[in-house]
Amino acid sequence: MALHVIDEANRCLQCKNPQCVKGCPINTPIPEIIRLLKENKLDEAGRTLFENNPLTTVCSLICNHEKQCEGHCVLGKKGVPVQFSDIEQYISRSYAPKMVKGPKPSNGMRVAIIGSGPAGLTIAIILARYGYQVTIFENKSEIGGVLRYGIPDFRLPKSVLDDIQYRHIEMKGIKIRPNTHIGGSIGIEDLFRDGYKAIFIGTGVWKPNALHIKGETLGHVHFGINYLNSPDSYKLGQRVIVIGAGNAAMDVARTAIRHGAEELTCFSITKKVAASDYEFTYAKLEGVDFEYNKRPVEIVDEGVIFRDVIEGEDGSLTDIDGSDRLYESDSVIISISQGPQNGIVNSTTGLVADKKGLLVADEYGNTSRPGIFSSGDAVHGPRTVVEAVAHSKVVAESMHRYMQSLREEK
């Protein structure tokens, strides 16, 4: 691994106007990182990575590099781009064990983080660096949100998240309240009552989108986000149909293959899958089949009835009458994205959400109530992890300014 990383680092042209940085949603200083590595300054390179992106170990594994940093590398125009993902992974995982500093002295101000997905973790880590007393309220038993419960272990090992919890959360004095639902026994008003000066809502999108077709409630039908949450709980049988063709659907399909499915087909309503080329290629390599331009019209005990559709040049879809056909399967998994749960919005006065249930917030994370902030999927809907981290860095600084203004008013 190390020799490969050095070889890749030596290929970097150290461009004066690095397109790789522009292609990275969080503007990772890639040429600087590579230069430090080549100068045998591994610790400095690692420190730079983590200061820029608290979840750099995660992003090195699951980012859509082919469309971001590596997709913008000038070497990729006529050949193979520098594989910065491998470089980032090597540096971040080599440096992580050296991150042993304890918590910063408290500044006396409490912050509540609701949800421990990418956005919540980023906010918590940055504010802890400022000395805030941070408490994370997590609905599930372990931290990570979609990172732990929505991304398979073969893409993101749980050991990476465990290391983040130890080095970034526990060692920094951040407290965790697992299995705690905000919007039920505890509400937003209770947090303000108990002295939290600012509250961040990063609850993500966990409500699966439905097809709203006949048969969707049958016993052999499941939702993708629920399946990824606990795949060992499901008995899918040998033949599985996955409705959807995005990256999450690829995770569902590849996980089901690893859990014994012998015949698995993903159905896409368009002539091209929505998943990245990387995820699509691996799915095909692992035995996933694909059907295109198929619309599900009914789910029955024997499988799914699909109808052929014609895709126009403008992206319109037209059903072909008389083309309905039953595709047999033992189980059906619907994976067509997710939306937000609305427990906090429904139980909090003055908190505004849009028609989709997403929280309304400005570019700095300010919601309709002073002192309540939000970012990530809870605001924008399903996005990439690195996009959530990038926006949350801005929001963390906004929260810091807000709380400092409260202190100055006293």
Model confidence over 217-247: pLDDT tens digits? Answer: 999 999 999 999 999 999 999 999 999 999 9
What residue spans in the chain does CATH classification 3.50.50.60 cover? Answer: 110-206+340-409, 208-338
Q: Count the helices and strands in the chain (H runs, E runs).
A: 17, 16
CA separation for the pair 156, 219 (Å, rounded) = 30
CATH superfamily of 208-338: FAD/NAD(P)-binding domain (3.50.50.60)
Query: CB under 8 Å to 222, separation ≥6 — which residues?
Result: 234, 331, 332, 333, 334
Report residues of the chain scoring pLDDT below 50: none
Nearest-angstrom CA–CA distance, 265 and 159: 31
Residue 253 confidence (pLDDT): 98
CATH architecture of the domain with range 110-206+340-409: 3-Layer(bba) Sandwich (3.50)
Of 254, 207, 252, 257, nearest in space to 237 by CA: 257
Token readout for 305 is: 């009835």
Q: How far is CA 139 from CA 73, 144, 206, 284, 389, in A?
A: 40, 11, 11, 35, 20
Question: Given this model, what pLDDT does residue 407 score?
Answer: 82
Instruction: Please give the pLDDT value at position 139.
Output: 94
pLDDT of residue 343: 78
Kindly report, as residue ranges, where domains of CATH 1.10.1060.10 are found in the chain.
Answer: 2-98
Is 0.85 topped by the overall pTM?
yes
- Distances, alpha carbon 193 to alpha carbons 187, 196, 255, 398, in Å: 10, 7, 44, 22
| Type and span of the H or E element at 380 | helix 377-380
Position 100 scores a pLDDT of: 82
What pLDDT is attached to residue 154?
95
pLDDT value of residue 202 = 95
pLDDT of res. 57: 96
pLDDT, residue 410, reads: 63
What is the fold, at CATH topology level, of the domain defined by 2-98? Answer: Fumarate Reductase Iron-sulfur Protein; Chain B, domain 2 (1.10.1060)
Strand-pair category, 338-339 with 207-208: antiparallel
Cα dist from 249 to 89, 195, 363, whole Å: 25, 42, 30
| Alpha helix stretches (DSSP H) within 96-199 | 118-129, 146-149, 158-164, 188-193
